[in-house]
Amino acid sequence: MYTRVNDLVSIRLIAMAWRYLSKSMFGSSGGESEEEDLQAAAIIASMGRKRCWGGSVFGHKIYKRDRAAAERLLMLKYFDEESIFDDDQFRRRYRMRKPLFLRIVDELTTANSFFKQRRNAAGAKGFSPIHKCTAAMRVLMYGQAADAVDDVLMMGESTVLKCVKVFVKTVISVYQEEYLRPPRQHEIEEMMTSNAARGFPGKTGSIDCMHWEWANCPSGWHGVYKGHKGKPTMILEAIASEDLRIWHAFFGLPGSHNDINVLHRSPVFDDLANGNAPEVEFTVNGNIYSMGYYLADGIYPNWATLVKSISAPVSKKHNVYARRQESCRKDVERTFGVLRAKWKILHSPARLWNPRDLNSIVRACVILHKIIVDERGKDVAQLHNSEWPGAANPPINQNRNVPAIAQLIDAYSVIKSKETSASLRNDLVEHIWELYGTSSGPFARMHGH
């Protein structure tokens, strides 16, 4: 009976559309009312157009969410002058201070009209920019499913997912030029000065990889994305400094790769090979070197730009070096820990289906992490006790001309030189032993040994 009624309704609507079409083409009057003409016009206008996912569908239940009440409650909790929660609670729950969050909202709203508040066809106000950005941040910060945001912010699942995807893409488009770039000359000099005081002159960061589990990886792709973790994952390669800043992020390779495969495919040394990297020169144990290096773990190859530990130290000299190298290399491990603790979506299995969306989420989280770290660097005294402590100059070498293939081969042969790698590590062993191993070193004198 129900199916028959639906068929009759469909036939009547098609007949209305046909009468309206006849009237408009031949001028004949079918006697239908103005309301029927409008309905028929809407039917004809929608013919041949694919219906979007969700939306208004005949027979579906309509949830009347009180958006205005949710907006008032959100403002009362965090954004009014006399809000319920203070600035310290805002900082813990939004991962940043309120002025920084409001500045990001304003810049995203200026860059993308999606975040502007509009009225719908019925004249009712839509979600405000703060409301949309809060929904996206809730998913990123707590790793919640999109449906879990509905009961607090009165926003449907599909709308939350759209807010997340548009939010991360807009963050990338607005901030990637400043926060997804290699370090500038003065920043490299600051890092080298700081690392020289730790016993590693010439060090410009630590490199490592992190896996992010992909829960909704298609079954046909499991053989590619499943590696030693036992589950489908995607890999993030990053270079981080002592202050938790991320200077290089390369994400998207399947979890079946190891760190060596990722290194061979990443653009981490492209600027150095192309001659676009800033000049670096330092002295260790009386020898001069012209390339900076990263601290790495044992799986990485013996290259001139990578300094590894000694897996089985025998002498005291090697033992001291191994402990110092492994201690300083933890900078990137600490950064991964803070990144995943701050943005819980990277700690939980990814629920989205498209690898491009996952790539955008990771890049946006890296950008937001670096924005927060840079903001805290301006005012270290106001850091929260439970959190990690943490441009005016133009980019270096605007000329991006790619050299000839022979020059690239020569450059990479210098980067991958095993002789330079062995010589550099031996010099660092002697240098660190002079600082930390002998009784006459500055570290020993400082501690009264």
Tens of pLDDT, residue by residue over 306-346, are 999 998 888 999 999 999 999 999 999 999 999 999 999 99
CA 193 to chain CA centroid, Å, is: 28
Higher pLDDT, 394 or 402: 402
Higher pLDDT, 398 or 237: 237
1 pLDDT band, cuts 50/70/90, is very low
Which range (11-20, 335-344, 347-356, 367-376) has the least confidence? 11-20
CA 395 to chain CA centroid, Å, is: 22
CA 49 to chain CA centroid, Å, is: 35
C-alpha to C-alpha distance for 339 and 370, rounded to whole angstroms: 10
Asked whether the predicted pLDDT for residue 384 surpasses 50, the reply is no
C-alpha to C-alpha distance for 359 and 253, rounded to whole angstroms: 10
Supply 184's token pair: 């500038």
What is the CB neighbour count within 10 angstroms for residue 91?
A: 20
Arithmetic mean of pLDDT, 334-362 = 94
Give the pTM: 0.79
